[in-house]
Structure 1
Amino acid sequence: MAYNLPPLGWLRAFEAAARLGNFTRAAEELLITPAAVSYQVRQLEQLLGYPLFDRVHRELALTRLGQTYLPTVEKAFSDLSIATVSVFGERERQPVRFRCLNSFGQLWMIPRIGAFQKAHPGVDLQMISASWAETLSPELFDIDIRFGDGSWSDGAVEFLLNDPIIPVCHPDLALPEGTRDVAALAEAPRLDIMGVVDTWESFFRGFGLAVPKRNGLQVDQTLSALELAALGHGHALVLETLAQPYLDSGRLIRSTSKKIKSRHSYYLVTNGPRQALGPDAQLFCSWMIRELGGG
């Protein structure tokens, strides 16, 4: 089958120049001269019959057609890189370094990480847990799995999952039959998680009820709230995905069938475009997006 493709070297020069903003930086990455990058891009433009860049002093700005063409070229190189590593492997791999909040790591990542390793046995992973989502440091992490409003400016942000918020409790704290509604929780012992935006107050308000006084423990992590709830210390208001292992095991039950939409979501944050990551890191990101339904 014949493919109507420009030379791959020309496409590589175009992708690097578009991503890095000028021919000099592209040349440093591709280990050729700036003149060679400029020549290859001009050859590509002549072949296509349209300019891909507006040259402004020493910086480059993509034309409208260049902006349209770039994502397809990036995806083609990304797919080719991933396929090459998947089939043939890679020598001297660098570990994929990723960070996630402790609760997410313990309750979602660890139970699933074995499936990723089985599918990709040659990929080395480094998981770093954190209590709060500090600024991403490119020296420490390739990938950050964050929970928030997605408004960070220190990396490329990609949506993963918006999870509903549900109330859960120990089976011994189940509300009497026929009274498992939101109002019945007003007098029940409740666990509060500090620093979250989706609180018991917002839960009660969401169903048009007055906000009851706080009457339980406060903790700083979802994992602590779930463990305390599983020991019978009160009802916890948590993300459904994080509560699911406890629900599946029977340690917790839903306090009511009611739920609210979380105002925060899970996001993938990378130091620069995901397509610029190494093949192993791209494999891991694709797996995360697939598992969480973000793409």
Structure 2
Amino acid sequence: MAYSLPPLIWLRAFEAAARLGNFTRAAEELLITPAAVSYQVRQLEQLLGYPLFDRVHRELALTRLGQTYLPTVEKAFSDLSIATVSVFGERDRQPVRFRCLNSFGQLWMIPRLRSFQEAHPGIDLQMISASWAETLSPELFDIDIRFGDGSWTDGVVAFLLNDPIIPVCHPDLALDPGKREIEALAEATRLDIMGVIDTWESFFRSHGHAVPKRNGLQVDQTLSALELAALGHGHALVLETLAQPYLDSGRLIRSSDKKIKSRHSYYLVTDGSRQALGPDAQIFCDWMFRELGGEAG
């Protein structure tokens, strides 16, 4: 879409001169000369075809058209300023930008953010959620919290957490106590998460049972599997840390005491060493390691 707009520097000169009452004060604010402010305003007036100021000695008075135009210009600059700070932070107070998977962000990070902010009220955070298949430019974040085998070569990788994988279900789907747990799970409706390495097939093999046929839904997110399980759609096989909020609330129970070790772990990835990060980002990283019990230092 093409916009019919005057150059922004001309609009900025007009707004400052109208607000401050003369070109000299506007020039001091804009860090240019009064002659430059006057020139930019005249260029704007020539472009619009109408005068915006009545020039009386060294003072300026808005014309009727200038009075009509000014509120819209002021609002436009105000909206731009608010949007810029909202997205990118203030120039002297940049947020710590981190990326994590949707499931980790929703189920682990968000419940703990209040405690971090209470302990560090001067640090602003910016969380970017991503799906397992999504690739984002590293320029969008300072810290990447990833789940995988840790073999990435695009940054400095530090171990955070290896979590066991457990089966969970709605309390109404508790397994028949008269059957062996593994046999009962093999007959139950199960939810599969696409793209994960530790599957139901891995679970059954690790416990010496033949791999049963699939008999449930497939989803692409752990969060979706947990929500479906909480609604009674079947048994889900998920990381214990991500299932914990559901277990604590009683929405889910463990289907079985059996579990498997995850072949993937959580890692913290930064472009360079953590010591090269800003002090706020280093504090955030140290907090992550304390909370998850990963590498120190």
Structure-2-length-normalised TM-score: 0.68
- The offset of 1:228, in angstroms, is 0.2
- Shift in alpha-carbon separation, 1:20–1:166, aligned structure 2, 3 A: farther
Structure-1-length-normalised TM-score: 0.68
Percent identity between matched residues is 90
Q: Deviations over 1:174-202 (max 9, x none)?
A: 01224352221001000000000000000
Give the distance between the partners of 1:163 and 1:246, measured in 2 at CA.
Answer: 16
Contact 2:89 2:95 in 1 (8 A): no
The corresponding residue for 2:99 is 99
- The offset of 1:137, in angstroms, is 3.0
Contact 2:88 2:94 in 1 (8 A): no
- The offset of 1:88, in angstroms, is 23
- Shift in alpha-carbon separation, 1:190–1:146, aligned structure 2, 3 A: same
- Deviating more after overlay: 265-274 vs 27-36: 27-36
The corresponding residue for 2:116 is 116
- Shift in alpha-carbon separation, 1:160–1:189, aligned structure 2, 3 A: same
- Shift in alpha-carbon separation, 1:4–1:138, aligned structure 2, 3 A: closer
Give the distance between the partners of 1:201 and 1:235, measured in 2 at CA.
Answer: 14
Matched length:
295
Q: Deviations over 1:143-162 (max 9, x none)?
A: 00000000001110000000
Unaligned 5+ runs, structure 2:
none
Mapping 1:107-146, distance limit 5 Å: 107-132=107-132, 134-135=134-135, 137-146=137-146
The corresponding residue for 1:10 is 10
Look up the SS of the partner of 1:196 in the other structure.
Answer: coil
- The offset of 1:204, in angstroms, is 0.2
- Shift in alpha-carbon separation, 1:190–1:151, aligned structure 2, 3 A: same
- Shift in alpha-carbon separation, 1:34–1:261, aligned structure 2, 3 A: farther
Contact 1:167 1:256 in 2 (8 A): yes
Q: Deviations over 1:73-117 (max 9, x none)?
A: 999999999999999999922110000000000000000010000
- Shift in alpha-carbon separation, 1:70–1:182, aligned structure 2, 3 A: farther
- Shift in alpha-carbon separation, 1:28–1:292, aligned structure 2, 3 A: farther
Unaligned 5+ runs, structure 1:
none
Q: Deviations over 1:121-173 (max 9, x none)?
A: 00010001001264563311100000000000111000000000000000000
> Aligned Cα RMSD in Å?
17.4
Q: Deviations over 1:60-79 (max 9, x none)?
A: 99999999999999999999
Look up the SS of the partner of 1:167 in the other structure.
Answer: strand
- Shift in alpha-carbon separation, 1:88–1:228, aligned structure 2, 3 A: closer
The corresponding residue for 1:264 is 264
- Shift in alpha-carbon separation, 1:218–1:58, aligned structure 2, 3 A: farther
Give the distance between the partners of 1:89 and 1:55, measured in 2 at CA.
Answer: 39
Give the distance between the partners of 1:182 and 1:100, measured in 2 at CA.
Answer: 33
